[in-house]
């Protein structure tokens, strides 16, 4: 038996299409949704990711743009840029593309964002709200993981969920969201002993370690839903996840491909958060 592929590209397109009436409603009130991305330095992977975000903006009528800042910039000058965007009422969403060059503190930079414009959801206020179960902006990758599982009809309640990775952008928010959905969640990381003992017991396995080939079929429970968040480049230049797709597809019930799984969902969730930010700021709805 081969796992059902969870097609993030197709679902991402459907998410974008569903935003059209919301964008049109804002437009009828003279509001063009606007996102600004700050990119510090010239990390080539960041350029690719930002390009995908801006193309999605263009496809659905969001005014997307990036601001490139030199790697030698001072933190103070970044704060000033953010402060200008915070004050600009025509800008609804701001994000600072990660990773930042060495020496910059991403927490300190995220704290400069106006929380209602923080569409990545990394400001401490937004992460705190997530912890409280009343998120305003769910970090995009984590939101995409849950949306993929929901769209496939994967039961979460009472299921054993194992999350590999505990970063703030992927593992931790995924673990919080799965807990909120009544899964029994185990978080594994680089110090976990006998990883396979955990993964073999997982009905839902989310892998966000950034280690190609970390999970093979022998480590997966038959029928499990496996979400591969990892993005790694092989020596030959190919993009692969953390999961060995061939052996895992033979055992899992559901599996996301790389590319074409979580990646496009991350972009789609960013678009959803950006539209929500514009609604919160302009339509005076659901503001808490």
Indicate which residue of 120, 203, 228, 244 is catalytic: 120
Q: Is 211 in the site for ligand NAP (CB under 6 A)?
A: yes
Query: Residue 245 and residue 30: Cα distance in Å, rounded?
Result: 47
Query: Of 166, 201, 250, 283, which lies in the binding site for ligand NAP, with binding defined by CB under 6 A?
Result: 166
Q: Is 192 in the site for ligand NAP (CB under 6 A)?
A: yes
Q: Which is nearer to ligand NAP, 242 or 279 (CB)?
A: 242
Q: What are the backbone angles phi and psi of residue 34, rounded to the nearest 5°?
A: -130, 130
Instruction: Give me the sign of the Cα torsion angle 210, 134, 201, 244.
Output: negative
Query: Residue 246 and residue 208: Cα distance in Å, rounded?
Result: 18
Query: Residue 94 and residue 89: Cα distance in Å, rounded?
Result: 12
**Catalytic residue at 97?**
yes
Query: Residue 283 and residue 267: Cα distance in Å, rounded?
Result: 24
Tokens of residue 209, six digits = 């370690």
Q: Is 96 in the site for ligand NAP (CB under 6 A)?
A: no
**Catalytic residue at 34?**
no
CB 144 → ligand NAP: shortest distance, Å?
7
Q: Is 162 in the site for ligand NAP (CB under 6 A)?
A: no
CB 94 → ligand NAP: shortest distance, Å?
18
Site size toward ligand NAP (CB under 6 A) is 26
Q: Is 185 in the site for ligand NAP (CB under 6 A)?
A: no
Distances (CA, A) of 126 to 136, 171, 259: 6, 16, 29
CB 95 → ligand NAP: shortest distance, Å?
13
Q: Is 231 in the site for ligand NAP (CB under 6 A)?
A: yes
Q: Which is nearer to ligand NAP, 164 or 204 (CB)?
A: 164
β-strand pairing of 225-228 with 254-255? parallel
**Catalytic residue at 88?**
no
- The DSSP 8-state label assigned to residue 181 in this structure reads T
Query: Of 210, 213, 217, 260, which lies in the binding site for ligand NAP, with binding defined by CB under 6 A?
Result: 210
221-240: burial string, b at 16+ Cβ within 10 Å, e else: beebbbbbbbbbeeeeeeeb
Closest CA relative to residue 174, chosen from 182, 22, 166: 166
Q: Is 232 in the site for ligand NAP (CB under 6 A)?
A: yes
CB 87 → ligand NAP: shortest distance, Å?
30
Q: Residue 47: in which H helix or E strand, if any?
A: helix 44-60
Distances (CA, A) of 176 to 63, 133, 256, 259: 32, 9, 21, 25
Query: Of 97, 266, 274, 281, which lies in the binding site for ligand NAP, with binding defined by CB under 6 A?
Result: 266
User: Which residues 31-50 are close enough to bind ligand NAP by CB under 6 A?
Assistant: none
Indicate which residue of 7, 34, 53, 242 is catalytic: 53
Contact positions vs ligand NAP (CB under 6 A)? 141, 164-167, 169-171, 188-192, 195, 208-211, 214, 229-232, 262-263, 266
Residues tagged active-site: 53, 97, 120
């Amino acid at each position: 038996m081969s796992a059902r592929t969870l097609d993030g590209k197709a679902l991402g397109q459907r998410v974008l299409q569903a935003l059209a009436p919301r964008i049109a409603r804002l437009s009828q009130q003279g509001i063009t949704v606007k996102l600004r991305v700050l990119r510090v330095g010239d990390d080539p992977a960041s350029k690719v990711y930002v390009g995908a975000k801006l193309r999605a903006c263009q496809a659905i009528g969001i005014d997307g743009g990036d601001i490139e800042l030199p790697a030698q910039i001072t933190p103070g000058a970044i704060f000033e840029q953010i402060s200008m965007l915070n004050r600009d009422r025509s800008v609804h969403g701001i994000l600072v593309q990660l990773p930042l060059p060495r020496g910059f503190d991403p927490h300190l930079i995220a704290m400069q964002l106006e929380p209602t414009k923080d569409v990545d959801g990394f400001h401490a206020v937004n992460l705190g709200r997530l912890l409280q179960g009343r998120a305003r902006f769910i970090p995009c990758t984590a939101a995409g993981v849950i949306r993929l599982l929901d769209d496939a009809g994967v039961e979460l309640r009472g299921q054993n969920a194992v999350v590999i990775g505990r970063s703030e952008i992927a593992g931790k928010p995924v673990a919080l969201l799965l807990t909120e959905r009544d899964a029994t969640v185990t978080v594994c990381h680089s110090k976990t002993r006998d990883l396979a003992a955990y993964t073999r017991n997982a009905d839902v396995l989310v892998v966000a370690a950034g280690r190609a080939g970390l999970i093979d079929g022998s480590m997966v429970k038959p029928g499990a839903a496996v979400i591969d968040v990892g993005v790694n480049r092989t020596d030959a230049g190919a993009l692969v996840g953390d999961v060995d797709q061939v052996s895992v597809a033979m055992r899992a019930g559901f599996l996301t491909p790389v590319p074409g799984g979580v990646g496009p969902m991350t972009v789609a969730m960013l678009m959803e958060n950006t539209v929500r930010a514009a609604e919160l700021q302009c339509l005076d709805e659901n503001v808490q």
